[in-house]
Structure 1
């Protein structure tokens, strides 16, 4: 950037409405992201889940205009605790990037919930901008570091350091990103959520990025692309105590 040039402001983040259309039941069990070696049971479950999702939504894609919104409601057995493990972002990644790659369509908004239920349901719709949801915590942060770096997490954590963990129980979390054209925004999800210790809490003595993200029972992720963003990422963080999920 030359002398006297000015940094262009970034477009304000946009929140999109949750798809409310009646979804389709999945015939395959949702699987968490797996970083095991190829051919492992974890990788096989992940591949089957992605294939099952692709089968369900492919017929709806051609009838749905951009921008796209995806909703995934995870049904868990009653004996499985809702507020630990089964992190919602780990169901959405690598699912969403794989769906985008196979369809050639990008998602502007993706949602996930978890509850005790015998089935999991997926819905696809056009994404419609909606009002800022607000929340107990409403933070606006900006980062410049690479998502895989510790600096990325530190920049977010330091900008929300005034927060105190929400009371015990489920959390409804929405993150609205503004990224440059070269950023793959799904790669930002986990690092951002791992940085939210001041909101989600963590165990005494636990690593600073080992936060209680399993307590997020309602997750909304949104993105717009701004050519002026460059390496900057703007994130609007909205968090509140979640309404107890319904069971079936």
Structure 2
């Protein structure tokens, strides 16, 4: 099986978004949530489409989400919910696959997005470092159970922000964004759970820096390998944004 690959954080200066980043919406078509999501995706596409067309593979994307001061950074506003369905839609509209996708959140009046060629880097390590293998469909409970059962030695990271990186090895037919949420939901032993929360309700709002990486193994079949690196996080350091 191919070894998971980590890519360096995108350091290219981002361009300020003219629309507010929107979380994924599962409401009916035409609902306010769906409209906000569509406007957000269109706004990102408008900014990056030309650069995506000229940037060599492997391709990396970075989204920096600015939230009002009155909102908690560590509750809700899950970073994977900003990236999905953004990344799948961008893949369709640009015709390009992303090998590395980053997102951060912090208190700020603006948000930004950037793309560049992804650069392979060394294993980032962290307080927790796991490599797990799954064989089930991502929308099944078995998928989550297989991940959970391979990280049972972990205890939740101390209260505060978390930097999480997930490096996936997938077969060529896997739609890897479909794996993100199910994988993160399985990390309750790292992220912690609120009192009375269900098995798959991890405190993923604590993730303030998220890096997702993709390597394709033609022989992977239904197997998915995920290298998990988790650590405490400080306020994200951002490249200078352009207007």
TM-score (norm 2): 0.97
- Structure-2 separation of matches of 1:214 and 1:179: 26
Report the equivalent of 2:160: 169
Question: Are 1:155 and 2:146 an aligned pair?
Answer: yes
Residue pair 1:77, 1:116 contacting (<8 A) in 2 also? yes
Query: For residues 246 and 178 of structure 1, do their structure 2 counterparts lie closer, same or farther at Cα, with a shift above 3 Å needed?
Result: closer
TM-score (norm 1): 0.95
Residue pair 2:79, 2:105 contacting (<8 A) in 1 also? yes
Question: Are 1:59 and 2:58 an aligned pair?
Answer: no
Residue pair 2:53, 2:94 contacting (<8 A) in 1 also? no
- Structure-2 separation of matches of 1:205 and 1:45: 32
Q: 1:109 aligned to 68, 93, 100, which one?
A: 100
TM-align CA RMSD = 1.2
Query: Which residues of structure 1 form unaligned runs of 5+?
Result: 1-9
Residue pair 1:136, 1:240 contacting (<8 A) in 2 also? yes
3-state SS of paired residue (2:29): coil
Report the equivalent of 2:137: 146
CA drift at 1:112: 0.1
CA drift at 1:246: 6.3
- Structure-1 separation of matches of 2:184 and 2:60: 20
Report the equivalent of 2:89: 98
Report the equivalent of 1:188: 179
Report the equivalent of 1:36: 27
3-state SS of paired residue (1:57): helix
Residue pair 1:115, 1:246 contacting (<8 A) in 2 also? no
Q: How many residues align?
A: 239
3-state SS of paired residue (1:124): strand
Report the equivalent of 2:226: 235
Report the equivalent of 1:3: none
CA drift at 1:221: 0.1
Q: 1:122 aligned to 92, 98, 113, which one?
A: 113
Query: Which residues of structure 2 form unaligned runs of 5+?
Result: 239-243
CA drift at 1:244: 2.9
Runs of 4+ in 1 over 4 A off after TM superposition: none
3-state SS of paired residue (1:112): strand
Larger radius of gyration: 1
Q: 1:15 aligned to 6, 10, 15, which one?
A: 6
- Structure-2 separation of matches of 1:43 and 1:153: 27
Provide Cα deviations, 1:39-74, integer angstroms capped at 9, x if missing partner. Answer: 000000000000000000012112211110000000
Q: 1:48 aligned to 28, 39, 42, which one?
A: 39
Report the equivalent of 1:84: 75
3-state SS of paired residue (2:43): helix
